[in-house]
A = this chain, B = another copy of it.
Amino acid sequence: MSGHHATPPGTPEVTRLLADWIVALEGSDIPDEVRREGLRTFVNWVGCAVGGARHETVDAALRAIGPFSGPKAATVLGRPERLDPLKAALVNGITSHVLDYDDTHLKTIIHPAGPVASALLALAETRKMSGKDFLTALIVGVEVECRLGNAVYPDHYDRGWHITGTAGVFGAAAAVGKAIGLSRQKMQWALGIAASQAAGLREMFGTMTKSFHPGKSAENGLLAALLAEAGFDSSERALEAPRGFACVMSQKQDWTEILGELGTRWEAGLNSYKPFACGIVIHPTIDGCLQVRTEIGERVHDIAKVHLTTHPLVLELTGKRTPKTGLEGKFSVFHSAACALLRGDGAPTAFTDEVVNLPEIIGLRDRIEATADPACHEASVTIDVTFGDGSTMQKHVHRAIGSRDVPLSDAQIDTKFRNQSALVIGTAATEALLALAWKTPELADVATVPRHSVAVPELAT
């Protein structure tokens, strides 16, 4: 064996040990507060999947993919179309992320539910699964993807990998593998097949291909687990090998992030839910601008200029000066700030092609400047406003709404769910679906949730 293949001395058997843990875990081993966060993760995801269901990105995907669907056992949430579970995993992964309104593991900027819930729920429509077992597998998947993310973040992300895609495929494989009861060895294979599909580039941000990433990682993770189940083998050390995931795709490999305190430190308990329909890094700015708007009232029309002092990632990720489309608007802190100030809006309605091109918005947007400050926390911002008469005001946001310190309450998750879902499937179906989603832990068959996500006469009345 060549020296190039050798694992450095002291490298733990990461893949085997992680697979061991996944296989041995019982639902009752998961603390109540983590199970509760898993349920909040799922409820928020269902709302986002329905909310994004009519986006043109989804229409385009369905035009291309629909003709190749196998037996249509699985639901596209919020739409009449049905697909085979692999394709449904792909499309639900797209819908749930397309509005950039889903959940975030703040340490890594992974959006955990898209890859994991999309894969698992699509499978659950063909292999009956209780709500309890579903949530156990969901939490396992989220835990795996966030731990892998921690192990390689930030180097992996800085290189240009869209970590929701690259880590997400492992989360999906682990969740499905747990749900279908893979052996330890087959779980290692599933992680290996997942590793060979880990992909997704940040260059795609601002295009339809960004939301394709969680979709494809859902489909590919589901496929990985099903292939392993069928005896399709793979490397059994795909995570830690010198030519495995962490070494090929990152300069940093911190194995303790994957193996340390397994079962006691829960990354799945740290999930957060976006209050605004764009990248998490803009949220402090929107939060602050909404506060400014409330405080100054009609004077928003007298603003001469605005200066933002932000964390460097804000400009790196959302520095688009002249967005032309709604999707590009999500990658413009300038548009987002202007829209929050002038319209009080950070919801999906703030990121339409029409709003991005409104002369009034463009006028203010172009008078907003931003400076990156490495000392600024990711959940903070300082906003300096100068008015036409030369007077000024400053707004400092210490921790934005939606951050771990200021989490969305269950009621706020409900409001977010309703606002998205009602536009797609109507109020009555939305209320029924929301109530059902919260009851997931008690459901004998979790597939009743997606089946209630579509506006049908008996639900709409």
Q: Using a CB–CB distance below 8 Å, which chain A residues touch chain B? A: 1-2, 4-5, 56-57, 60-61, 63-65, 67-71, 84-87, 159-162, 165, 192-193, 195-204, 207-209, 212-213, 216, 223, 226-227, 229-235, 237-238, 241-245, 247-248, 315-316, 319-321
Contact = CB atoms under 8 A, between A and B. Distances in A.
6 closest pairs, A vs B, by CB? A160-B243, A160-B248, A64-B230, A63-B230, A203-B243, A199-B199
B319 A2 contact: yes
Contacts of A202: 243
Nearest to A160: B243
A192 B216 contact: no
7 contacts: A65-B223, A68-B70, A160-B248, A162-B196, A201-B248, A203-B248, A208-B233
Contacts of A200: 196
Contact of A209 (B196, B231, B241): B196
Given A161-B248, A192-B204, A203-B243, A209 B229 contact: no
B201 A63 contact: no
A201 B243 contact: yes
A65 B68 CA distance: 13
A85 B63 contact: no
A231 B195 CA distance: 29
Given A159-B248, A209-B233, A234-B204, A197 B199 contact: yes
Interface centre among A61, A209, A237, A315 (most CB of B within 10 A): A209
B68 A238 contact: no
A2 B315 contact: yes
A234 B235 CA distance: 32
Given A71-B67, A160-B243, A192-B209, A235 B321 contact: no
A361 B291 CA distance: 78
A230 B199 CA distance: 22
B203 A238 contact: yes
A320 B331 CA distance: 49
Contacts of A57: 232
Nearest to A210: B196
Contacts of A84: 68, 70
A149 to B, nearest CB: 17
Nearest to A315: B2
A234 B248 contact: no
Contacts of A192: 203-204, 207, 209
A200 to B, nearest CB: 5
A5 B160 contact: no
A178 B198 CA distance: 27
Contacts of A227: 60-61, 64-65, 212
Contact of A5 (B4, B5, B61, B319): B319
Contacts of A197: 199, 216
Nearest to A321: B1
A231 B319 CA distance: 26
A233 B207 contact: yes
A235 B223 contact: no
A312 B239 CA distance: 26
Contacts of A321: 1
A74 to B, nearest CB: 10
A13 B457 CA distance: 52
A232 B248 contact: no
A160 B319 CA distance: 33
Given A5-B319, A201-B248, A248-B159, A232 B196 contact: no
Contact of A64 (B159, B223, B315): B223
A161 B161 CA distance: 15
B316 A2 contact: yes
Given A2-B316, A4-B316, A208-B232, 16 more contacts: A56-B231, A61-B227, A61-B232, A68-B85, A68-B87, A160-B248, A161-B248, A192-B207, A195-B203, A195-B204, A196-B209, A197-B199, A201-B238, A203-B237, A203-B241, A208-B234
